A and B are shown apart, each in its own frame.
Chain A
Amino acid sequence: MTKPLVDIRDLSVTFSGERTVHAVNGLDLSLPPGEVLAILGESGSGKSVTLKTLLRLLPPRRTAISGMIAVDGVDVLSLSGRRLADYRGGTVSMVFQEPMLALDPVYSIGDQIAEAVMRHEGLGRRAAMERALDMLTRVRIPSPERRLKVFPHEMSGGMRQRAMIALALACRPKLLLADEPTTALDATVQIQILLLLRELQREFGMGVIFVTHDIGVAVEVADRIAVMYAGNVVETGTVAEVIRDARHPYTKGLLAANLHGAVKGARLEAIRGAPPALERPPEACSFAPRCDFADERCRTAPPPMIVPGPGRRVACVLADRLEAAE
């Protein structure tokens, strides 16, 4: 088996301050090189925090991180100073939900891409601008020569997101992190960006972790899906396994709530209640208070990690029972 590109073990992230939040609780996750993983979860599930921890973007004074993260053999949590700056944008880069906020409003698109290339690869300005032009062409921005000199506010939402992707990929990272990159876009533009990302991923062969709350988006881009709830992965598997054979009650609820093929007028099988506030670290199954199948075991101890098949994990006592029944 090849060495994983990303290896996260027992990661916990806790924010302190006015309120303590245990955002990520004992997360294990790994990503082989060249694979696309979608992290699927609702707000507060810890999916964005996981991404930000991978780039070490969280405010150090208010954040306690424990566990281990290795990306391409580098111990991410021990990085600092120059080595951290080399890592960000060099080995790993990120595409955000709001390109208008992520891009610098006072530099042209070309200058921003060239700056990253000069910093990470030590190229001269001319060569860096050539790379910027090449990147804008690859993300299919029409008339790229002209767009090099354009500022972010002069572009449409879809074009800005393309520019953001060009910037993120300019230094050929081994890992691309994407945090809901299409959520703010219109439907007809979203699908263009998703297909573009899929194509560039194949072209560059990089690993991608794609965070989304939309199952349909995950199906379009990912090889595998990890479903997160209350700061931990509750179910992982290939896209087909998770969509067609969901084992965790939460995953099943999410699939039903997607309304794909819901019968008009029929009552929706809504998951009751709301996600936990995570002021204390979970001591039992976090989903138990909302689960129709929860029993005594669920409320007293953390759920076991069941492995129904290779590369497949489900954190639920029920998955075990299902397997035994089959």
Chain B
Amino acid sequence: MSATDLAPVAPLPDRGGPQQPLVIARDLRRHFPIRSGFFGRRTGTVHAVDGVSFEVVKGETLGIVGESGCGKSTTARLLVGLIALDEGDIIFDGDRLGDQLSLRELRRGVQMVFQDSYASLNPRLTIEDSIAFGPKVHGMGEGQARRRARELLASVGLEPARFAGRYPHELSGGQRQRVNIARALAMAPRLVILDEAVSALDKSVEAQVLNLLADLKEERDLTYVFISHDLNVVRYISDRVMVMYLGEVVEIGPAEAVYARKAHPYTAALFAAMPSMDPDARTEEPPLAGDPPNPIDPPTGCRFHTRCRFAEAVCAAVKPALASVPGEARGGEARAEAHVAACHMLVAGSGHSAAGGAA
């Protein structure tokens, strides 16, 4: 790639048009070997992400929810190319990562904000230098990169004159997370992945940052992938929601449809586990017993069958595919409107007693 290509660090042009999803993730798979003993022999495999497919539509916010070990953070890291895929394709605006799109080009289009605002900044760089670093690596001149850093500081609500020369430890958690957002925007990305980006913040500060994210999305025509364990926040910010369990997608659909219907039993349990806000209607019965199983040796068939109260023989034997949730969006509608879940109870003739007989 020539230097002139990179010099301006301008936003990547829209190539595929509005109908082309910004990201198509197809059958993503990433396993991590566990080695032990003197010779480091492979003694197990973590099935971190196991056949995950989804699309991110241009201009939307896709929320990803799930518990620890469900693969939501690994999915995010695969999308930015921080870890390599074992199998599967990532197609960014029509170009496949690998042969049609280099990792370097992908990272101009996709940036990420992490949960730990302190660990993700270099403690030896002033925040201005941190923000200007990416553009400089991509060929922008010193003066221009600095100007851009100051503009970005102003747009995330940090007065450049006061803050530009400060080091990360001189800022509060909320201010640091604003810096991380500014740094992500320095490459003029089209997709920003927010991996638990507001989870470590105090509630009152979290609301400020959520407002900021909404403003930036509007101003800069961004697309977000928003990963969080807080279902209230995900509902507020997301257009569509994807629920993951042990490295797989169990349900995906428009936020309101998922929140209203909760078609997969795991989705229903996850929502029921949210603390009640009504002192007269406190939770009496935990929706699930035990901890989420280990992704090292995931259960056969439906991975949720070991904790599911509707589980039958078919659930342990056959892995359910994502199927349309009956009574809602059908296959004929636009893909972005589809509401699908991976549960035998939703598929007529699957062998589960709760599934309808007729197709």
Residues of A within 8 A of B290 (CB): 142, 158
Q: How far is the CA of A137 from the CA of B271 in the complex (A)?
A: 28
Q: Which residues of A, 263-281, contact B by the 8 Å Cβ criterion? A: 264-265, 267-272, 274-275
Closest to A45 in B: B202
CB of A61 within 8 A of chain B?
no
Q: By the criterion CB–CB under 8 Å, are A186 and B275 in contact?
A: no
Q: How far is the CA of A243 from the CA of B277 in the complex (A)?
A: 8
Residue of A159, A243, A268 ringed by the most chain B CB atoms within 10 A:
A268
Query: What is the 8 Å Cβ interface bit string for chain A, positions 192-233, against chain B (1 contact, 0 not)?
Result: 101100000000000000000111110110000000000000
Q: By the criterion CB–CB under 8 Å, are B273 and A188 in contact?
A: yes
Q: How far is the CA of A251 from the CA of B216 in the complex (A)?
A: 28
Residues of B within 8 A of A243 (CB): 277-279
Residue of A188, A195, A272 ringed by the most chain B CB atoms within 10 A:
A188
Closest to B255 in A: A264
Q: Which residues of B, 253-282, contact A by the 8 Å Cβ criterion? A: 255, 269-270, 272-280, 282
Q: How far is the CA of A275 from the CA of B205 in the complex (A)?
A: 9
Interface residues on B, range: 35 or more
* Smallest beta-carbon distance B248→chain A, Å: 17
* Smallest beta-carbon distance B208→chain A, Å: 4
Q: By the criterion CB–CB under 8 Å, are A260 and B232 in contact?
A: yes
Q: By the criterion CB–CB under 8 Å, are A256 and B207 in contact?
A: yes
CB of A91 within 8 A of chain B?
no
CB of B102 within 8 A of chain A?
no
Q: By the criterion CB–CB under 8 Å, are B270 and A270 in contact?
A: no
Q: How far is the CA of A257 from the CA of B208 in the complex (A)?
A: 9
CB of B283 within 8 A of chain A?
yes
Q: By the criterion CB–CB under 8 Å, are B232 and A187 in contact?
A: no
Closest to B229 in A: A187
Q: How far is the CA of A156 from the CA of B294 in the complex (A)?
A: 9
* Smallest beta-carbon distance A236→chain B, Å: 15
Residues of A within 8 A of B232 (CB): 258-260, 262
Query: What is the 8 Å Cβ interface bit string for chain B, positions 203-221, against chain A (1 contact, 0 not)?
Result: 1111110110010000000
Q: Quick one: which of A189, A220, A275 contacts B276, CB cutoff 8 A?
A: A220
Query: What is the 8 Å Cβ interface bit string for chain B, positions 137-181, against chain A (1 contact, 0 not)?
Result: 000000000000000000000000000000000001111000000
Residue of A219, A239, A259 ringed by the most chain B CB atoms within 10 A:
A259
Q: By the criterion CB–CB under 8 Å, are A269 and B207 in contact?
A: yes
CB of A16 within 8 A of chain B?
no
Closest to B269 in A: A188
Q: By the criterion CB–CB under 8 Å, are A191 and B273 in contact?
A: yes
Beyond A258-B232, A264-B236, whether A217 also contacts B207 by CB under 8 A is no
Residues of A within 8 A of B97 (CB): none
Closest to A195 in B: B286
Q: By the criterion CB–CB under 8 Å, are A195 and B283 in contact?
A: yes
CB of B289 within 8 A of chain A?
yes
Q: Quick one: which of A157, A264, A270, A275 contacts B207, CB cutoff 8 A?
A: A270
Residues of B within 8 A of A142 (CB): 290
Q: How far is the CA of A230 from the CA of B292 in the complex (A)?
A: 37
Residues of A within 8 A of B272 (CB): 191
Query: What is the 8 Å Cβ interface bit string for chain B, positions 98-132, against chain A (1 contact, 0 not)?
Result: 00000000000000000000000000000000000
Residues of A within 8 A of B231 (CB): 187
Given A186-B68, A188-B292, A217-B275, 12 other A-B residues pairs in contact with their CB atoms under 8 A: A42-B204, A186-B67, A186-B229, A195-B286, A219-B278, A220-B275, A240-B280, A262-B235, A264-B237, A265-B214, A268-B210, A271-B208
B: residues with CB less than 8 A from A are 67-68, 172-175, 202-208, 210-211, 214, 229-233, 235-237, 255, 269-270, 272-280, 282-292
Q: Which 8 A-B pairs have the closest CB atoms?
A: A216-B275, A270-B207, A42-B202, A271-B204, A186-B67, A259-B232, A156-B291, A257-B203
